[in-house]
Structure 1
Amino acid sequence: MYIASVSTTIKFHEFPNGNVIHNYQPGKVEGPVRSLSWSRDGNWLVVVPHSGQTEIVGTKDQLRLLKTIHEVDEPTAACFQNTTKKNIGIGTKSGLVLIYDIKSRNVKKRFPRASTQITHVAFTAKDSHCITGCKNGEVLVYNNVTNSPPSNLRVPKSNSITCLKTNQLKRNLVLGGSNEGIIVVWDININRSKFCTEAHKAPVNAIAISPVNVDLIVTAGADRQFCFYDIADHKCIANISVENCITAVDFSPDGTHFVMGSQNGRVYIYDSRNIQQPVNSFLAHTSAVRHIAFQNRHESSDSSVCSLSKSFDNVAITQEEKRRNKSVRTSDFFGMHLYTVDAGLDRKSIASVGGEDSFIVALGLDKDNTTESINNDVFVEDISSKPNNNDLDLPCSISLQLNKPEAGDLKMKQFSSTPIFNIHHSLSELSQTSNVMHKSTTNATNSDEIKTLVKECFSEEFKTVIDDLKNDIKYESTHTTHQMRIMFLEMHMAMVKMALKLEDFSKRIRYDPHPTSNYENSLVDEIERLRKRNDFLEEQLKNLTVAKSVNGE
């Protein structure tokens, strides 16, 4: 298993000794690599250099450049999808978010453009959502299934986003950090934060989630500390100080170890069970480690997994992976009818071999879709030899021959979502039917007559079953109709009650004299006060006039 450490170059180290196996230089050496992501099976690596085009690097047999994506200009971040290795999410400097199809070598989907540069791209566990971080601090959640408008998330009390991760076990959780030292866990189902705390007194440089504990996260900041948090209990579990600033962190696939990259280019490997001291450390780069990631070890389950050729740069689907990933039926209801009739074998239900429909196999329809083949395969007369009555206890001279696979091909049924088929009950019914056929065919000497009688007996049984089903359906439909009528009646009664309440309320408003009378009384009082004031002023004016006239005389 490799550990990929990224600065201006990418180095692949053995775990846990740290020996350098490969050294890869993407594009031109103009600055640190912007983004790095492993494919699901760990054989490919998508790299976004500081300047230039996105590159896909193969690491399975030997380190080599498989493809350069020229169809997307000015990429800033890229990430493989989690369920397939043929699709890559790419963010650009202009705010575009694209899904690139490696097989067809074109852009498969375009999401609405963001307002600023894309800095982070990630996918949820089942690739239902594409999460992108923007330079202005926005986190856009694109629905990869419905193509609905993106939802917008932000770190509280911050206008930045420095790191972004998705929880691969809880598909609705997204983690982010900011320059203000705040970490937040969003629930994208409700577009709200589930956990938020000021984890560091400096910018959050990296964040990682344990692959075995969905609630355990580790954060690293520029304050020379890394912290462990339990997001379910909303508390800090551990706070460890280090000599140099931690700039990158990642968990091993089994969760037993985690690795950290520092500002001085050293890489530290810790045991999750003892986080006080690293179990190993080595110098990986001469500058700060920008990204660090364990190699994925998932087996590819995509039937359309593609392979890139270095010389021709083409994409093809391997037939071997198609055959290996072909779905096989694990639950077969009709397989229960394929019970064995030999005395030496156990009467157990078996599932169809190869995933085919065992009911069709039992009827012989897999060979030829004719009545003759059905009669020859399912109902075979045996007049010359007597049946084994000790096993099925059938008194008639007809034996029911079922398609019985070889003992080496038997595949015992493990699980079924349907009710268990009662073999003994079916055998008793078959015995009763055989008694009737035996009484009816005592004088029969022709095999065609025997087949005709058998068909008539089973046709009567089928008719009875069909009639029962019709009665059940009729009862259920009548019961459902009755329930719907009751619901409509209750709804109508509720509407009538509401209408009566509204009518009573309107009447009370219309005929209640109190609000109107109070309003009128207040107007009358105001008018009376103004009239008295007017009389007083007129009296004052009159007295003033009389006084002036007296003084003038």
Structure 2
Amino acid sequence: MIWDTKNKTITKTFPTPVQQSCVNYLSYNAKNTSLAATTQNGDTVIYGLVSNIPVLTVKLSCSRSISAMKFHHESRSLLGLTTDEGHVVLRDITTNKDKVFFENVHASPVSDFAFSLINKDVLLSSGYDKVMHVYDIRLQNVVSTIRTPHTLTSLAINNENQVALGTKNGLVLVYDLRDLANPFKVLKGHEEEVRRVAFQPNKHKTVSADVSLREDMETLSPHKINSPVRGRASDMFFTNDTPPKNVELSVQGDAKADSFLVMMGLDKSNVDFDEEGNKSERKSDRTELRYRQLDAEKNISKMSTPLNSRTAETLGFPSPIGITNGVPDDGRGSHFNLSNVKQTNSNVNVANLDTKALEEMKDFVKLTLADVADDNRNYFLHIMMALTKQKLFLEKQLVGMNEQIQHLVQNQNALVEINRKLAMEIDQLKIQRNPF
């Protein structure tokens, strides 16, 4: 059943499967067109949310005990499943065939898994074997592994490459995917098993009360709201058998360059509005929006000023300041006329307009400085990640050379031993030939 929690009513009811069993996991797909329900007997029933009937039953040939299940957050036909035998499976529900199958990747039951919010081809899994794996779905391999001293029970990842791992002894380990050597935070506070972990969603930035016009204009903007998921430009991680390509240190280079920063999802210049926009369009739209807002507010202010000019001149109302207790003024208070009131009101409007324009200019300067700071940060991070990639490649080459040297030394020692044995055999043959 699907419930409306606000009205406390049932909105949809799905038919019961033929083989009745307890439902352990539920998950909606990316477009909210399908609902997956995994039962205790190992079957996963896919319901269509339009027809409200089962359209597919997913059965794994490798296992009948599902330990975790969820849809991919971006690909609506990709369903992730993990088992108690240590398998990780990605099933395409359109063809009902396995897209990726990691067999016995964990030595114990897989406790949880999650898809990266930055790179759609990155998958993470945790298990009771105290291990967390990082996978590349497209390359279908394990690119990184973390071994901890604790039994891992749950996993979560945010859009800043931070990974939280819940443990059986009540700890929460927080890692950064850019440095998996050690957790940068260990949260204590539970005395029992941590069954689920989650990151708090990012709050929207609060804006001043005078931006209602901007919100209306943004609602009419043809651009879509940008998704936190970055588009994948190239391989995410550097593998052992692939040498690095040319390092691009320019921030304004090709968006599809083989950048380690882009792979990790840290390059904000690769964020798409509608999978075709870029950051320059975003800046220009924001600048144009600010100018439109300033022009609109100036027009509103200009429309309000004539009430104090022409109307006051044509209508001959006596000034209330020049009348005291019903007695007409004798001329001494004649300087309190409508012209002074008109001048005062115009000065107030000009002051208000100047204050608003100054505030808007301050906001515009702040936004510009924030963009410049983001560009500088991305530039230095880009350089740092490129140098890190080159360093890793050189280290791997050095390790390979060391292994070759050790192999040569072993071969040399083996040849020396063979020569020694041959010399001994020659001496024995000489002794046998000439016994005296």
TM-score (norm 1): 0.37
More helix by share: 2
More strand by share: 1
Larger radius of gyration: 1
